[in-house]
Structure 1
């Protein structure tokens, strides 16, 4: 795997865990496209809607002194300059994990100036979560 991607991914996850919207906005492509499935409902959205969603999630995390529990499940190269990362994310509030998590399939691409950006996501939101040494879905 590209060493620059490993560094990028670690930074991306640190930014997420810190709930830093200003930093996260710099890591998402302006041409970002996503699909989220919540309870069977499908919503397609782009960069602006994504930023609003992250803002809401980060505000909730900060207001509730929550910590993010993010697990990288798999990293798969798609093309020379494109990598997909499968991860799960939930929050821990007052030492208790939420009962649900989101499963993310996030595609990152290296652009013409050799910066990695999040370009696509497919998200299964609100799925049952059980915390052990790994992520288990009921």
Structure 2
């Protein structure tokens, strides 16, 4: 795996997310993107167009509330020479307080001619993240 180029791509992806920049983030999503999201026990499958619409709505909410994203990198797992999964936990910080729940993203990126692109996601919503210190320290999920 090309660790340096993946790290640079992941950092840029997360920065685009933190900036709520749909134009930047969209460049990382493959046109063949496929995802599954679990929300309140319901499973929804969606692709590129629905994903972009979801990001658009989420970014509009964060900007409208003058909130910010809290995105935590949980793990990076090389799957193949040209595929890497990253596990991210994301929630919104509103008025200096992190929301009680967030989402776990199991995102698979594949390296192609256009660089690293997000090709698959599995997303669990409504996940609690214990702990009060937003800036670091050990966290326990349960």
Tell me which of 128, 131, 140 is aligned to 1:136.
140
State the alpha-carbon separation in 1 of the partners of residues 100 and 117 from structure 2. 30
Query: Any idea what the Cα deviations from partners look like across 1:68-92, whole Å, max 9, x if unmatched?
Result: 1000000010000000001100010
State the alpha-carbon separation in 2 of the partners of residues 31 and 8 from structure 1. 18
Task: Quote the residue 2:104 is aligned against.
Answer: 103
Task: Quote the residue 1:78 is aligned against.
Answer: 79
Q: Where do 1:23-62 residues align within 5 Å? A: 23-62=24-63
- How far the C-alpha of 1:7 sits from its partner, in A, is 0.5
State the alpha-carbon separation in 2 of the partners of residues 62 and 135 from structure 1. 27
Aligned 8 A contact 1:71 1:135 in 2: no
Aligned 8 A contact 1:67 1:93 in 2: yes
Question: Structure 2 regions of 5+ residues with no counterpart?
Answer: none
SS in 2 for 1:88: strand
Q: Residues 135 and 64 of structure 1: is their aligned pair in 2 closer, same or farther, counting only changes over 3 Å? A: farther
Normalized against structure 2, the TM-score is what? 0.92
Query: Any idea what the Cα deviations from partners look like across 1:8-66, whole Å, max 9, x if unmatched?
Result: 01100000000000111111000000000011000000000000000000000000111
- How far the C-alpha of 1:126 sits from its partner, in A, is 1.3
Normalized against structure 1, the TM-score is what? 0.95
State the alpha-carbon separation in 1 of the partners of residues 140 and 20 from structure 2. 25
- How far the C-alpha of 1:114 sits from its partner, in A, is 5.1
SS in 1 for 2:86: strand
